[in-house]
Amino acid sequence: MMNTNNTIIFDVDSESFQQKVIQASHEHVIVVDFWAAWCGPCKMLGPVLEKVVASFGGRVRLAKVDVDRNRELAIRLNVQSIPTVKIVSKGAIVDEFVGALPEHEITAILNAIAGGEHDDMLRQAEAYEAAGSLSKAEKLYTSILNEEPENSIARVGLARTLLKNGSVDRAAEILSGIGEYDERYEEAKTLLESLDFIKVCHSSGDSGTWREKITKNPGDLDALYSLGCCYAAEKQYENALETFLSIVRRNSGYGEGKARKAMLTLFLMLGQDSELTVRYRELLARALF
């Protein structure tokens, strides 16, 4: 393993550990990598650690400890196998792991400890979004992503803002780029599932249009389904579930069972333990059986 000596990535030993790690951790988060030249997994983990640490722009630093040369230090810090990584902040070990973790997991661990570079901007963007200042929120989220394209918090925030502005296709494109191992994947997946409701709702009008059609023809299941989608898009989840359930009761096979499928999607969005999910899952079962 190559020795690196600079302010971000550097070697430490028993004599320099107190100064370069413990004392320095009051200014920066220090990742301590216990490794050895003969250790295969260490050779795999080393470059990943260096890449992740470098991505924090100096807020996180990497200290490398060669256990063959620093056995006493390794024993003192209870290193029983390698690679072992200990993360030090404010003078204390705050987290640790053994083995070669993937890049996204290490990034998530350090994000939780060191915070993201754009945390203040994210908080401001979320405040704008909550206040309904969508154009300001969109600009801030976009600015963050221009500097940090893989920031999934900003990606989800931008997608939410775009959905509120009606930019469904662009929101879908942004959400589709969030991988299944990302900590924001489930949130992105839920938003993606809600896009179908929005598309159907706005396919030929809005909730008012569909209500008018149902008033003229109460048996129009297409209009009823679209109205249910509008309710779901507007987060009127109980009205949406009740509307889809009414379709199932009239014709469970309508549209190859798409009203039932819509209810199942809403159950996922709401969570399996949600009061609405529990209640309407039972009502759906009664309607079907």
- Whether residue 42 lies in the annotated active site: yes
Q: According to CATH, what is the number of the domain 9-114?
A: 3.40.30.10
Q: Which of 34-38, 133-137, 266-270 has the highest mean pLDDT?
A: 34-38
CATH of domain 202-288: 1.25.40
Give the mean pLDDT of 100-127.
84
Residue 244 is classified by DSSP as H
Please name the residues in contact with 48: beta carbons below 8 A apart, sequence gap of 6 or more: 100, 101, 102, 103, 106
Rounded to whole angstroms, the Cα distance separating 189 from 29 reads 32
- Cβ atoms within 10 Å, residue 46: 21
Architecture of the domain delimited by 119-200: Alpha Horseshoe (1.25)
Set 39, 201, 229, 230: catalytic member = 39
- Average pLDDT, stretch 136-140? 94
Q: Which of 42, 201, 229, 230 is catalytic?
A: 42
Listing DSSP states for 229-241 in one string gives HHHHHTT-HHHHH
Identical fold at 119-200 and 202-288?
A: yes
| Whether pLDDT at 117 is above 70 | no
Instruction: Report the amino acid identity of residue 281.
Output: R
Name the percent of the chain lying above pLDDT 90. 56
Q: Could you give the C-alpha distances from 238 to 120, 147, 241, 244, in angstroms and in order?
A: 36, 40, 5, 10
> What is the pTM (predicted TM-score) of this model?
0.49
pLDDT tens digits, one per residue of 193-225: 778 888 888 887 788 889 999 999 999 999 999
Q: What are the structural domain ranges in the chain?
A: 9-114, 119-200, 202-288
Average pLDDT over residues 278-283: 95
